[in-house]
Structure 1
C-alpha cells in the first residue's frame, strides 16, 4: 500500500495514524483511528480510490456552504428575474442560518431531511410552519450549492438530492374561473382599457407579454401578434426579457380586435409600446384599488353572478374559449407559449375532460354515416 499506519498515545489511550500521498504527490495524514484494523481499512480505501481516479481530498470538503453559495448564485443569474428573485430570499431566510457555516463534507442526508420536515411544522410558540413550496425551494437552494461541491470533487455525493417523502405542493385548486364571450365583452366595456382586456381574453398572452408588445408586433393583415418580449415587475422594477419559456411565438387574434389594436397603435412609431403611452411599460393592476378590479366590481354591482377574477384569469379564459372553438392541444400550446403540450394538458385537463362526451357523440355520428345499410345487430350476434 502507498502509505503507513503508526500508533501514538493520547490521554484516552492508543490511537492510530495513517500517512499517505495524495494524487498530486503531496503527503497528508488522518489520525484518530481506535484500532489498527480501522486504520488499515481506511488506507486500503484511499489506495483503491486513487487507482480508480475517484479520490477526494478531505481538505477540500472543509469549505463552508456559504463560500460555495456565491459561486452558485452567480450561475443562476441567467434565470428569469421573477424566478431568480426567490433564490436569495430562500438562502437568507432559511438556508444560510442553518447551513451557511457548515462544512460541506460534514452534512448528512438525515440532517437535511429533518431540517426540511421542521421547516413545515408549526412551532411550540405558535409560529406557523412554512408551506411545502417554501420548504422545497429552500431545499433546492441547498441542493444546488452542494452540486457545486460535487462538481468540484469536494464531496462524493450530494446529501440533499434523492430524498423521499418530501412535503408535497398543494394541487391546483379546482373550479378555475372561465368567462363567457358575453362576460368578456361586458367587462371590457366597463374597463378603462377595453382593448387590453379583449387582447388578454382572446390571445392568452401573459400580462408581461401584452405590456411588452410594440406597434411592429401587430400584423393586422394576418391577424397575428408577434410575441418576443416580456416585461415582468419584480420588487417594483420592470425587467424586460424574452418570454417565459424563451420561445418567441406568433399568436392569432380574432378579426374584431383589429380596429382596437389599430387605434392603440395610432400616432406611435414601430418601436413604441402598443399599450399605454408608448414609452413606459404598463404595470400590473394594483391589488384592491387597480383599474381592473374596479371594472370587475362595477360589473358585479349589476350582476351578482359575475365571478371575482384577476387579470391573469383572462389567460385561462382565452384557453377555454379557444378549446370551445375547436383548438387542439398542440395549437393551444403554441398559442399560450407552454414549453410542452403535456403542460397544457396538465393545466387545462378540466377543459379537455368536458370535451370527452362530445368526442363520444361525434364518433357515434361518424360511425353511423359511414356504415349506412350495414346491420350492427349482425355483428353483435
Structure 2
C-alpha cells in the first residue's frame, strides 16, 4: 500500500523524514497494489487507508480461496461472452444451435447485451425472469412468455455465465437459485387401436405413415428420413438411423437422430405386410415416404394437412397432433404388457428415467397388483395365526434377577 501524498526521504546524516510529494492534495491519497497469479500488477486508488487495506485484503483472500477474477475480464460484456459461448456449440445439431441463436437474439441480448459481466447480479436476473412471464421480452412487449420459454431463456443465460466462470471472468454464477415459473401439466392424447386405424384410413396417401408413427414410435423427422433399405420385411424391423429437421433460415437438414444413436424397432405383422406391398419394386435408396411436391423430403406441413383432416373426420380425435401418435405407441405398448426398458428402446429415449417421467402414469395396474399381493399375504398370515397353537404368556422378569 502506498501513500501518494507523502514520501520518505533520506537525509545527509542517514536519518529519514516524511515530506509532501509532488502529488500532495491531488486525486486519491492511498493506492493499493497487488500481483495476480499470472504475474500481472493491479492497482486501485482510495481516499481512506482503511478502505484501501480492506480492498487489498479481499484480493489476496480471493486468490488464496480460488475465487479471484481479473477485473479486466469481468468487464467483458454479456453479449461478447454469449458470442464466445455459442461459438463453442458448432458441433451441436443445427436445429439446437439455431434455437440458441433465436433465444439470444429475441429474448436475452436485447436486455443483457451491453451489460458487463460483473454487473450481472442475482437480484436483477430474478426481476428480469419474473418480468418475462408478465410483460414478455423487449421484442414481445406486452405479451408474457410461456413458462417453458422463460425456463429456456434462464437455462441459456445460466450456460453463458457458467462458461464465464470457467473462463475466470466471474467468481460464481449469479443465475443459480433463480426462482422459475412452473410449467403447467399438459394432457397427452392417446388413440385406441380402432381410432388409430380409422385416422390412418382417413389420411389417404399418408395411411402407412400414420400407422408407422402410431405402432413403431418414430418421431416425424425420423420417418421422413427413412429409405426403402431401412425396412427389413423379412425380419419385420425398421432401422432408424437418420432424421430430417427444419431449421429456421436453413430449411430441411438431414442428420443423426435426436439421441445420436440408431435403433431397430419391431413392425406388427399387418403393417409389415402393408410395407412389403408398398416397397415392392422400389430402389433401396428411395425415400419410404416421398414428399408430395418439390421438396427433397416430406415436410411436417405436408403430412399435417392430411392428418388434421383425418382426425377431424374421426369421432373423438379432433385436435390430436401428429406427435401424439408417438404417445399413442407408448400407451399401446404399455397396455400390451411392455416394461419400461422396452418402451425406452422403442422410442429411442436416452434413459429409462425420461420414459418413466413421461409415461410412468400409464402403469396404474402395478399398484393394484401390489395391493392385491399384500392382501393375499395378510390373509395367509391371519389364517396361520388362527390355526397355530396359542402362545404361552411371557412372564415379566423378577426384580433383582
TM-score normalized with structure 2 length: 0.81
2:203 aligns with one of 191, 194, 201: 191
Q: 2:309: which partner in 1?
A: 294
- Is the partner of 1:85 in helix, strand or coil? helix
- Structure 1: distance between partners of 2:25 and 2:306: 77
Q: Say whether residues 1:319 and 2:330 are aligned partners.
A: yes
Q: 1:141: which partner in 2?
A: 156
Q: 2:298: which partner in 1?
A: 282
Residues 1:6 and 1:325: Cα distance change in structure 2 (over 3 Å): same
- Is the partner of 1:295 in helix, strand or coil? helix
Q: 2:34: which partner in 1?
A: 20
- Structure 1: distance between partners of 2:381 and 2:164: 72
Q: Indicate if the aligned counterparts of 1:211 and 1:282 stay in contact, CA closer than 8 A.
A: yes
Q: 1:57: which partner in 2?
A: 70
Q: 1:178: which partner in 2?
A: 190
Q: After TM superposition, list the pairs within 5 Å mapping 1:75-224 onto structure 2.
A: 75-122=88-135, 127-160=142-175, 162-171=176-185, 173-174=186-187, 176-192=188-204, 193-224=206-237
The answer for unaligned runs of 5 or more in structure 2 is: 6-22, 388-401
- Structure 2: distance between partners of 1:317 and 1:355: 20
- Is the partner of 2:281 in helix, strand or coil? coil
Residues 1:376 and 1:220: Cα distance change in structure 2 (over 3 Å): farther
Q: Say whether residues 1:258 and 2:272 are aligned partners.
A: yes
Residues 1:376 and 1:86: Cα distance change in structure 2 (over 3 Å): same
Q: 2:399: which partner in 1?
A: none
- Structure 2: distance between partners of 1:202 and 1:345: 19
Q: Indicate if the aligned counterparts of 2:85 and 2:163 stay in contact, CA closer than 8 A.
A: yes
Residues 1:16 and 1:94: Cα distance change in structure 2 (over 3 Å): farther
RMSD between superposed Cα atoms in Å: 3.1
- Structure 1: distance between partners of 2:386 and 2:88: 66
Q: CA deviation at 1:354?
A: 4.8
Residues 1:19 and 1:315: Cα distance change in structure 2 (over 3 Å): same
Q: 1:347: which partner in 2?
A: 358
The answer for unaligned runs of 5 or more in structure 1 is: none
Q: CA deviation at 1:78?
A: 3.0
- Structure 1: distance between partners of 2:60 and 2:285: 66
Q: CA deviation at 1:249?
A: 0.9
Q: Indicate if the aligned counterparts of 1:113 and 1:163 stay in contact, CA closer than 8 A.
A: no
TM-superposition CA deviations, 1:172-228 (whole Å, max 9, x none): x23x22211111112212222211111111111111111111122112222111111
- Is the partner of 2:363 in helix, strand or coil? helix
Indicate the structure (1 or 2) with the bigger Cα radius of gyration: 2
Residues 1:334 and 1:5: Cα distance change in structure 2 (over 3 Å): farther
